[in-house]
Structure 1
């Protein structure tokens, strides 16, 4: 049962992501959790040694990655993440993750469309 705002946000985002066609959930890398479309990851939740009152999210944002970098809870893009338009957002204990759910749901949808086969992406675009 989700007890912290960060856990509730992850549960809501995962539930939303699972409404997309052919989406499944599973482990990303230990201890992270991921959402997949046809075995291709489009979202990652969690990071190593992350407390319950924090959450790291990783998503592919080909349209808004550059703009997202200006947000205070987005980590600077470097290397592979920057080259491939993946954004790492980290919400700490003092961040209002629930207040950003609409933005994060939009990002989740954008990431799904970017990774999914075009036919599936068009179903939710």
Structure 2
């Protein structure tokens, strides 16, 4: 069975996240997959009962949280997530998630820098977030 664009996007974003220093991948909560650095999550994929033709990506964006709020695929964060600058991007069955890969990679990078220990963050800080 062929993969949906949403599954392809998650694979590509996971592969990108794993290029960052000390990044690992694994299960998150019961229905999510996560990227971690030093056992701290910096990207979360999935949502409860999410079909294969949808993708939810949650990342910490302390620099651009206000700038991305009006994007059509960004859901309003609430509670702890909103208080700590986490952004939830959701792509439904008709959304072209593959067209947003560059944006999502940049978000994963920004989230990594926000979560990673300073020594690791500095190792990529010279590059554009």
TM-score, scaled to structure 1: 0.97
Q: Which consecutive segments of 4 or more residues in structure 1 shift more than 2 A?
A: none
Q: 1:60 to 1:109 in 2, by over 3 A?
A: same
Structure 2 residue ranges without an equivalent (≥5): none
Give the superposition deviation at 1:78. Answer: 1.9
Q: 1:31 to 1:2 in 2, by over 3 A?
A: farther
Q: Deviation digits for residues 34-84 of structure 1, max 9, x if unmatched?
A: 000000000000011100000001000000111111101100122111110
Match of 2:50 in 1: 50
TM-score, scaled to structure 2: 0.94
Trace 1:95-110 onto structure 2 (pairs within 5 A). Answer: 95-110=95-110
Match of 2:92 in 1: 92
Trace 1:4-15 onto structure 2 (pairs within 5 A). Answer: 4-15=4-15
**Number of residue pairs matched?**
125
Structure 1 residue ranges without an equivalent (≥5): none
Q: In structure 1, the residue corresponding to 2:70 is in which secondary structure?
A: coil
Q: RMSD across aligned C-alpha pairs, in angstroms?
A: 1.1
